Amino acid sequence: MSARGKKQHSSRRTQRNRGVIGLVLAALSIIVLLLFVIRFAYIAGSGHVGQVDLTKKTQKKYRFDQVIKARRGTIYDANGNAVAEDSNVYTLYAVLDKNQVSTAGRPLYVKDKAKTATVLSKYLKISATEITKTLNQNQFQVEFGAAGRNLSLEIKQKITDEKLPGINFTETPSRLYPNGTFASHIVGLAQLKTTVDQTNQQSTQQLKGLMGVEQYFNKQLTGVNGRQVAKLNNYGYELPDSKRVVKKAEDGSDVYLTLDSRLQSYLEQLLQDVQDKYDPTELSAILMNAKTGAIIAASQRPTFNAATKSGLETQWRDSLVEDAYEPGSVFKVLLLAAAIDSGKYNPNATYRSGSVTINGSTIRDWNQVGWGTIPFSQVIPRSSNTGAVHIEQALGETLWKEYLNRFRVGQKTGITLPNEASGSIQIKTPLDRAITSFGQAVNVSAVQMMSFLSAIANQGEMLQPRIVSKVVSNQGKVTKYDKKVLGTPISADTAKQVIAAMRQVVEADYGTGQQYKIDGYDQQIAVKTGTAQIASSKGGYLTGSNDYIYSVAGIAPADDPEYILYVTAKQPDITKADAISILSEIFNPLMKRALNYRTTSADTDANSIKMSKLTGLASAAAVKKAKDQGLTVTQVGNGSKIVQQLPAAGEKVIAKQRVVLLTEGAMTMPNVVGWSKNDVLKLAEITGGDFKFSGDGYVTSQSLKAGAVITAGQQIVIKLAEP
pLDDT in tens, 179-195: 888 999 999 999 888 76
pLDDT over 80 (residue 12): no
Q: Please list the active-site residues.
A: 329
Q: Are 664 and 81 in contact (CB under 8 A)?
A: no
Count other C-beta atoms under 10 Å from residue 313's C-beta. 9
The predicted structure's pLDDT at residue 28: 76
pLDDT over 80 (residue 418): yes
CA proximity to 147, closest of 169, 131, 125, 164: 125
CA proximity to 226, closest of 70, 63, 64: 70
| Rounded-to-integer distance, Cα 451 and Cα 410, Å | 12
Work out whether strand 690-694 and strand 715-721 pair parallel, antiparallel, or are unpaired: parallel
The pTM of this model reads 0.75
pLDDT in tens, 368-401: 999 999 999 999 999 999 999 999 999 999 999 9
Angle between helix 261-278 and 677-687 (nearest 10): 80
**Paired strand residues for 641:** 618
CA proximity to 513, closest of 496, 494, 531: 531
Q: Indicate the average pLDDT of the chain.
A: 87
More confident residue, 362 or 629: 362
**Paired strand residues for 350:** 375
Q: Are 695 and 719 in contact (CB under 8 A)?
A: yes
| Rounded-to-integer distance, Cα 673 and Cα 652, Å | 25
| Rounded-to-integer distance, Cα 587 and Cα 569, Å | 12
How far is C-alpha 153 from the geometric centre of its chain's CA atoms?
22
How far is C-alpha 46 from the geometric centre of its chain's CA atoms?
54
**DSSP label at 638?**
-
The predicted structure's pLDDT at residue 441: 93
| Helices and strands (H and E) in the chain: how many | 20, 35
Q: Are 588 and 553 in contact (CB under 8 A)?
A: no
Backbone phi, psi, residue 719, to 5°: -100, 135
| Rounded-to-integer distance, Cα 543 and Cα 16, Å | 117
> Which conformational region is residue 343 in: left (phi greater than 0), alpha (psi within -120 to 50 degrees), or beta?
left
pLDDT over 80 (residue 559): yes
Count other C-beta atoms under 10 Å from residue 495's C-beta. 25
The predicted structure's pLDDT at residue 53: 57
| Rounded-to-integer distance, Cα 246 and Cα 229, Å | 6
Helix, strand or coil for residue 308? coil
Under the banding of pLDDT at 50, 70 and 90, the label for residue 176 is confident
Q: Distance of CA 373 to CAs 377, 388, 491, 511, 638, Å?
A: 12, 14, 30, 17, 67
| Rounded-to-integer distance, Cα 276 and Cα 501, Å | 34
Q: Give 33-99 as a 3 state SS string.
A: HHHHHHHHHHHHHHCEECCEEHHHHHHHHHEEEEEECCCCCCEECCCCCEEEEEEEEEEEEEECCCC
Q: Does an H or E element contain 351, and which?
A: strand 350-352
Under the banding of pLDDT at 50, 70 and 90, the label for residue 640 is confident
- Give the rounded percent of residues in the chain with a pLDDT score beyond 70: 87
pLDDT in tens, 65-112: 556 678 899 999 998 888 998 888 889 999 999 999 888 889 999 999
| Rounded-to-integer distance, Cα 432 and Cα 426, Å | 6
Q: Are 215 and 418 in contact (CB under 8 A)?
A: yes
Nearby residues of 193 by Cβ (< 8 Å), 6 or more positions away: 205, 206, 207, 208
- Top CATH class of 261-602 equals alpha beta
Q: How far apart are the first and last CA of the chain?
A: 150
How far is C-alpha 441 from the geometric centre of its chain's CA atoms?
32
More confident residue, 35 or 251: 251
Helix, strand or coil for residue 118? helix
pLDDT in tens, 312-362: 888 889 999 999 999 999 999 999 999 999 999 999 999 999 999 999 999
| Rounded-to-integer distance, Cα 646 and Cα 662, Å | 9
| Rounded-to-integer distance, Cα 531 and Cα 65, Å | 63
The predicted structure's pLDDT at residue 235: 46
- Max distance between CA atoms of the chain, in angstroms, equals 158
CA proximity to 183, closest of 293, 254, 252, 266: 266
Under the banding of pLDDT at 50, 70 and 90, the label for residue 250 is confident
Name the fold adopted by 66-257.
Penicillin-binding protein 2a (Domain 2) (3.90.1310)
